[in-house]
Structure 1
Amino acid sequence: MAAQAPGRVILLNGPSSSGKTSIGQAMLPLLPDPWFLVPVDSISGMRSTKHNRALGDAKTQEMLRRTRRGYHRVIAALASAGNDVIMDYPLSEPWRLADLLDVLDGYDVTLVDVRCSAEELDRRERLRCDRPRGLAASQTGVYAHRDNDLVVDTTRRTAADCAREIVDRFATISRPKAFARLRRDRPVAAVRTLDADQHNARRSQT
């Protein structure tokens, strides 16, 4: 049997309330079946949430980091089996991108920055009840990588319009893509830091 070609990955990156999930949902009927929309919230939502479990700040941050590292590897596992995947995920911490550059090395990744004005983000946060106020404003590093394959802006455009633009332009994106450029150009020090983090993580599990 011929080896299975890996699936493609579209990463929708942007702050909370920028419209990533709505765009991903609108993309699914426009793409040839099957594509999987896998938001990071779907992985976080599987975690137990007992209100009487007090982890403390340090342990909570450690738990969240493990969750996100696991999410990266779920995406890689799906793509390795030939599945096409849409990620709904903010690159709000430098280590997230650094880890993804390693975990998704060898995969066709399209990085889409989803932008929205600060005023509109604040308005959306006030309307929804499932996000703390100021979350989007706190995610200042979400575009720190300064590279992408596509940019859409939901300030005045609908999720459907943005989804159509992404799907229409998807096949014509020039190579090397943003992930390949970022992997090529990242400082050696960043690679060493990531290697050390991974080593420490393995030690903590033994």
Structure 2
Amino acid sequence: MKQGIIVFLNGTSSSGKTSISRELLNQNEFSFHHLSIDDFFHELFHDYIDFINTKCSKSADGEDVEVSVQIIIDSLVNLFYSTVKFMSEKGINVVVDTVNDNDERFNTCLGLLIDHPVLFVGVTCSKEELIRREELREDRESGLAISQYDIVYCLNEYDIELNTETLRPNECANLILNFIRSNGEYSAFKKLKNRSVGVL
């Protein structure tokens, strides 16, 4: 079976990834499934996270003990990328909407998806525009995108780079579709793996 294409959108919060994803889902030429890390956590694992927050708020003897929630989050992020791999293996085209802000997680992602057709797309805009967009949104904390900026954009290998300050979401989607139609090689992920480049 032919593996499904993975359109991997790399950008900070508010950079325009979800808007591009919607455009890709709304076109009729290629069928895509949108897999968002936000949906993965808040919809699929809402009850689980609620369980952790309520049932595990104190230790067995009732004391407040500081334990990093990264133990849980890292495992769920690994499951997220494993789900992307599973869907591609099933021949399903996937648009991946997440934020690469951790070296270990991103290298795990590279390891899982290196042998799959990953179209690595840089989704960018200026810091000023990110601040403006955040101020218009009510579902993001102020300063989140800027705090992610240097980490997310330390990667310099992309199959396509899209500036959402100058390109509308439908224009970005069309450039992605044009690349897919061209049957060009999806090489950025392989270059990142070969150079052992991760997120700092």
TM-score range, shorter chain: 0.7 to 0.9
Cα pair 1:6 1:83 within 8 Å, conserved:
yes
More deviation, 91-100/116-125: 91-100
Of 131-140 and 169-178, deviating more is 169-178
Q: Which moved more, 1:110-119 or 1:124-133?
A: 124-133
What TM-score, normalized by structure 2, do the two folds share? Answer: 0.83
Unaligned runs of 5+ in 1: 191-206
1:73 to 69, 82, 97: 82
Q: Distance in 2 between matches of 1:162 and 1:176?
A: 17
Aligned positions of 1:1-206 closer than 5 A: 4-30=1-27, 32-45=29-42, 46-47=44-45, 48=47, 49-50=49-50, 52=54, 54=57, 58-139=67-148, 140-172=150-182, 174-175=184-185, 177-186=187-196
C-alpha contact (below 8 Å) 1:30/1:167 kept by paired residues: no
TM-score, normalised to structure 1's length? 0.81
8 Å Cα contact 1:9-1:86 kept in structure 2:
yes
Aligned-partner SS, 2:15: coil
Aligned to 2:62: none
Seq. identity, % = 28
In structure 2, runs of 5+ residues without a counterpart are 59-64
Aligned letter for 1:10? V
2: distance between equivalents of 1:84 and 1:157? 24
Instruction: For residue 192 of structure 2, give the secondary structure of its aligned residue in structure 1.
Output: helix
Counterpart residue identity of residue 30, structure 1? Q
- AA aligned to 1:64 is I
How many pairs align?
A: 185
Q: What per-residue deviation string (whole Å, max 9, x for no partner) do you get for residues 76-101 of structure 1?
A: 11111111111011212122321111
Cα RMSD (Å): 2.2
Could you tell me how far apart the structure 2 residues matched to 1:27 and 1:186 are?
30
Deviation of 1:60 after TM superposition, in Å, equals 2.0
Looking at structure 2, the residues matched to 57 and 17 of structure 1 have their Cα atoms a distance apart, in angstroms, of 31
> 1:149 touches 1:173 (CA, 8 Å); kept in 2?
no
SS in 2 for 1:110: strand
2-side partners of 1:69 and 1:57: how far apart? 23
